[in-house]
Amino acid sequence: MSEHCLFCKIAKGEIPSQKAYEDEDIFVFHDIDPAAPVHLLLIPKRHIVSMQDIGANDAAWLGRMMTLIPGLALDNGCRPGPEGGFRLLANSGIDGGQEVAHLHFHIIGGPRPWHKR
């Protein structure tokens, strides 16, 4: 937990969010400013700044998070099959366009057209 981190506070329920999933390591919630009909954010509960800080010890929870993605996408409005799908995105660092300094993956999808970002 980083004391002043927005996403740490969201993971702890100290700041409200629209939760989509939670387990001991992972918290998933809807983006406050969705770029598409479906826009989820997946975060580790532990404070990790970005993908630049990932190491071998993170393989287990990170791998498990990846396996949750297809189900989360479908359960929250992404369409199945080749006409459906979603974009998976992790902005990392200033050059990567990251605005919130707590590692997060975006799931962005839902029926097109949408092209805000």
Q: Which amino acids are annotated catalytic?
A: 104
Binding string, residues 39-58; x marks residues near ligand 5GP by CB under 6 A: --x-----------------
CB atoms inside a 10 Å sphere around CB 40: 26
Least gap, CB of 115 to Zn ion (angstroms): 30
2 lies in the binding site for ligand 5GP (CB under 6 A): no
CB atoms inside a 10 Å sphere around CB 34: 15
CB atoms inside a 10 Å sphere around CB 90: 14
Distance CA 70, CA 75 (A): 9
Dmax over CA atoms of the chain, in Å, equals: 42
| Chosen from ligand 5GP, Zn ion, none, partner binding at 29 (C-beta under 5 to 8 Å by type) | ligand 5GP
Task: Closer to ligand 5GP by CB, 64 or 117: give it.
Answer: 117
Distance CA 10, CA 108 (A): 20
Task: Closer to ligand 5GP by CB, 6 or 54: give it.
Answer: 6
Dihedral over Cα of 97, 5, 21, 76: its sign: negative
Give the footprint of ligand 5GP on this chain (CB under 6 A).
Answer: 6, 17, 29, 31-33, 41, 91, 97-100
Give the footprint of Zn ion on this chain (CB under 5 A).
Answer: 2, 5, 7-8, 47, 102
